[in-house]
Chains A and B, each alone.
Chain A
């Protein structure tokens, strides 16, 4: 009969990995299974030492490789989120939202004086990030998904996008002062609005994906 590790032994491995900076639940789950499978195979092949001795020797030999994997995993998660963001941005629906936002903002700008517009523009990054933060925090708390790589790294991606908004706003501030060109202002604000909505959609998509794939872990 094949040897199986007990629940306590599995829990011990998982705890050890968590304290070794493998803090994302999804990667830790996979590493726990890998280590447990390797230890089971070793015990099965006739190693009759106590579990903790076998575990200690295994980790001495493999720990650096496991941690190396952790870093590469995070890089791939970031890449995956950016790819999905790009994919969502290039969808026809995003183009429609962008065009509608552009024309609505362009028309609305006729009724706003330059000073009010400058104030509005300076508040736009914060106004754009707030809906994302509300959706993000509610989903994290509601579904207890806070330590999943894809979801936590979404916050990192949002920070980069936020910096992009700030850059656009600085550019716009100069432009509004110089010429008050409504088309460029509307174009930039429509872009910020579209990216913000896509980020919210992406957050919901990723959260649902994790809930589906990791329903046993949540």
Chain B
């Protein structure tokens, strides 16, 4: 498993990005999707995922929908309009961060 501290700051961006590609998702589905996309490299724990989801919900970036599925209730998250706008900002911030890190790690890139 990768160093989770390096990914911690990007968790919100990862969630928002996944929700732009899927109309609505539930907690466990998000953890599995991340695991699948990263070939098991990144594993999001319940202790990190749900506080982040609830924080985004409290900030009005996510809306919820509760449905009965397989003998239990399931809480789905979907992006609000504010959430869609915030996703664009977060992705730009992340891309800028990655570029900066690449330049720092590989200084030759800054000359190109």
Q: Is B73 an interface residue (CB 8 A)?
A: yes
Q: Does A203 contact B (CB under 8 A)?
A: no
> Is B46 in contact with A10, judged by CB distance below 8 angstroms?
no
Q: Which of B13-36 contact A (CB under 8 A)?
A: 26-29, 32
Which B residues are in CB contact (< 8 Å) with A157? none
A180 to B29, CA, bound (A): 63
Question: Chain B interface residue count: which class?
Answer: 20 to 34
Cβ-defined partner of A214 (8 Å) among B28, B50, B51, B66: B66
Chain A: CB-nearest residue to B67: A216
Residues of chain A within 8 A (CB-CB) of B26 are 33, 37
Interface residues in B38-97 by Cβ distance below 8 A to A read: 45-47, 50-51, 54-55, 57-58, 64-75
A38: Cβ under 8 A from any B Cβ: yes
Q: Give, as a whole number of angstroms, the nearest-CB distance from B32 to chain A.
A: 8
Query: Are B46 and A76 touching (Cβ within 8 A)?
Result: no
**A79 within 8 Å of B (CB atoms):** yes
Measured between beta carbons, the chain A residues less than 8 angstroms from B65 are 213
Which chain A residues border B57 with CB–CB below 8 Å?
Answer: 76, 80
Task: List 3 A-B pairs, minimum CB-CB distance, nearest first.
Answer: A72-B51, A65-B47, A37-B28
Given contacts A26-B75, A30-B27, A37-B28, 18 further A-B contacts (CB under 8 A): A10-B71, A10-B72, A29-B66, A29-B75, A33-B73, A33-B75, A37-B26, A38-B28, A40-B70, A64-B47, A65-B45, A69-B50, A73-B50, A76-B55, A77-B58, A80-B58, A216-B66, A217-B73
Chain B residues packing against A (C-beta within 8 Å): 26-29, 32, 45-47, 50-51, 54-55, 57-58, 64-75
